[in-house]
């Protein structure tokens, strides 16, 4: 099995992640048509509970597999790399079985805990997905550790397609038995998709399981590890990551209860509180599209940083860190500005039926999420796992506290969740930044990496909004409606993308050296006059 460069791995995972998230966005309007606004609020609450169980089971050990395999292969210990994977896979299967049973048995108490009693049936139908995703996560961690992102990318796309097909089909069928049954039907596809994805990854592993051992490997002296030592390493890497991600989603779970109950304290009825929570879910779903790219970047750089640290190449580690932050801002800033400036037309195009005001005010959360995700990955790569966990917990506490007070204010209501997120991400970012600089003796300025994307994005936002406004006026004389809005929105997004790219070239945000990191097929599409502007 051939290893891929960090850049190629990032590109593959990004493409798959974007496809998955776009498909999930396109699926939302159809789902809302079937189960309605209140049903979508129930559906969103269900997934917050499911996701919490999922991350407790699957967040730490797959990352531990990736990190451990990359470290062991970096020093030529291929036998223990395979051995560590098999140990971790066994642990994940056992955890998957246990947590599936937990969700099955405690579905009703969990639904009552988050104040969404109607989510009970949905949680029952999601319980098998925990086991299937545990199996899939083990293999994804293995392939990522071997710097091959292709099987992970393919499995994600397959899983999402199957999820959409079966979820919509079962939602339509079960709606005739009532809203709760319809919401439960909408979650069946998650289990089916996870099962098919796991089977695909198992087949791919059996077909590509051999390591390509370098010439002369037999003559090298490699330190071997016992099963007990490997198990300790898996626990050492996996537990703090599980706690870190688990606490983040525990905070989200508290927010499900917090949001609805505090909205009602502010004078909003239970049904309207569910609808407003559905708006928040749609906002988060839209943010998750660009965040998928950042997640792909994180998955690609973790093995690279871990390998560099394993062979004590701090210079390479520093280069990877600066590269990751630079890409982080190049991606996150324009996405945030674009979503804010075109929030209303994008929501109309996606038929999201309300809630665009949350995006208009809250797109900045995207940038903060992206920065923190990269920082957490870096801390995991350099061995500061418990530090990343501690700072995440501090942020969660501030987020929950802020939400509690802000959401109950009638004039703020659901926007209080945005305010809480800003506070909850900003504090860990400051703390993470300090520890990364100190640990690697690294001169790292987030401002230097962000200033050019910010300037180019500001121009992009103004031109894309102006383009949409003019086109909607002109096309409005011919016909007003969904098609007109969609045409104007798509053209405005295209103009924005071109403006941003050219602006970066003018400002020096993209250099000729960067073209070497891009696929040759893509660089051939760049006009010559643009290449001439590059430094």
Q: With beta carbons less than 8 A apart as the criterion, state whether 365 and 425 touch.
A: yes
Per-domain boundaries in the chain: 6-211+226-444, 449-533
How far is residue 316 from each of residues 10, 71, 152, 298, 441, measured CA to CA in Å? 17, 14, 25, 16, 13
Give pLDDT tens digits along the chain (535 positions). Answer: 555 555 666 667 677 777 877 787 777 888 888 888 778 778 878 877 888 888 788 877 887 888 788 878 777 777 888 888 888 889 889 989 999 999 889 888 888 877 777 888 888 888 899 999 999 988 888 887 777 778 888 888 898 899 889 988 888 888 888 888 888 888 888 899 999 999 999 988 888 766 555 555 554 566 677 878 888 888 887 777 777 777 766 666 666 777 878 888 888 888 888 788 888 888 887 887 888 777 777 766 766 777 777 667 777 777 778 888 888 898 899 999 999 999 999 998 888 778 889 999 999 999 998 898 888 888 877 778 778 888 888 988 898 889 889 998 888 888 998 999 899 999 999 999 888 888 877 777 788 888 999 999 999 999 999 999 999 888 877 777 888 888 999 999 999 988 998 888 888 777 666 555 555 555 555 666 555 665 5
Say how far apart CA 457 and CA 463 lie, in whole Å: 10
Return the DSSP state at 213: P
Closest CA to 30 of 266, 411, 351, 395: 351
Q: With beta carbons less than 8 A apart as the criterion, state whether 233 and 84 touch.
A: yes
Take residue 79 and report the two structure tokens written for it.
Answer: 């036998």
Chain centre distance of CA 506: 31
Spell out the residues 6+ positions from residue 245 whose beta carbon is closer than 8 angstroms to its own.
55, 59, 60
């Amino acid at each position: 099995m051939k290893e891929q460069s960090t850049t190629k791995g990032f590109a593959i995972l990004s493409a798959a992640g974007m496809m998955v998230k776009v498909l999930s966005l396109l699926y939302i309007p159809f789902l809302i048509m079937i189960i309605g606004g209140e049903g979508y609020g129930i559906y969103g609450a269900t997934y917050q509970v499911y996701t919490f169980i999922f991350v407790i089971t699957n967040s730490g050990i797959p990352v531990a597999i990736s990190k451990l395999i990359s470290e062991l292969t970096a020093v030529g210990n291929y036998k223990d790399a395979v051995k560590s994977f098999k140990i971790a896979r066994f642990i994940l299967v056992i955890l998957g079985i246990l947590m599936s049973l937990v969700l099955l048995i405690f579905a009703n108490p969990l639904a009552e805990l988050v104040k969404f009693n109607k989510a009970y049936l949905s949680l029952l139908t999601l319980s098998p997905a925990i086991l299937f995703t545990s199996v899939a996560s083990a293999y994804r961690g293995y392939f990522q550790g071997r710097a091959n992102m292709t099987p992970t990318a393919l499995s994600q796309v397959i899983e999402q397609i199957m999820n959409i097909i079966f979820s919509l089909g079962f939602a339509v069928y079960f709606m005739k038995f009532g809203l709760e049954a319809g919401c439960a039907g909408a979650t069946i596809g998650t289990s089916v998709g996870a099962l098919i994805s796991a089977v695909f990854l198992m087949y791919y592993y059996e077909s590509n399981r051999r390591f390509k051992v370098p010439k002369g490997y037999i003559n090298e002296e490699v330190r071997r590890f016992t099963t007990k030592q490997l198990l300790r390493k898996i626990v050492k890497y996996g537990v703090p990551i599980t706690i870190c991600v688990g606490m983040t989603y525990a905070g989200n779970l508290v927010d499900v209860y917090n949001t609805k109950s505090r909205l009602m304290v502010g004078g909003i009825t239970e049904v309207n509180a569910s609808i407003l929570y559905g708006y928040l879910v749609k906002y988060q779903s839209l943010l998750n599209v660009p965040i998928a790219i950042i997640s792909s970047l994180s998955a690609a750089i973790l093995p690279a940083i871990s390998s560099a640290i394993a062979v004590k190449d701090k210079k390479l580690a520093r280069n990877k860190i600066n590269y990751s932050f630079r890409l982080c801002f190049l991606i996150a800033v324009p996405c945030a500005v674009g979503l804010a400036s075109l929030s209303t037309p994008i929501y109309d195009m996606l038929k999201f039926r309300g809630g665009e005001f949350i995006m208009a005010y809250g797109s900045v959360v995207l940038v903060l999420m992206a920065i923190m995700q990269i920082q957490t990955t870096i801390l995991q790569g350099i061995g500061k796992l418990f530090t990343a966990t501690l700072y995440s917990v501090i942020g969660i506490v501030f987020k929950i506290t802020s939400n509690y007070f802000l959401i109950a204010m009638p004039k703020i209501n659901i926007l209080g969740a945005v305010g809480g997120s800003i506070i909850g991400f900003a504090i860990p970012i400051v703390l993470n930044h300090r520890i990364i600089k100190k640990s690697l003796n690294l001169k790292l300025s987030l401002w230097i990496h962000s200033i050019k994307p910010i300037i180019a994005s500001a121009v992009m936002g103004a031109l894309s909004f102006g383009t949409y406004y003019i086109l909607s006026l002109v096309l409005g004389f011919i016909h007003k409606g969904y098609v007109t809005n969609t045409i104007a929105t798509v053209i405005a997004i295209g103009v924005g993308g071109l403006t941003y790219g050219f602006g970066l070239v003018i400002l020096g945000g993209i250099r000729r050296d960067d073209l070497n990191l891009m696929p040759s097929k893509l660089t051939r599409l760049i006009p010559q006059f643009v290449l001439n502007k590059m430094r």
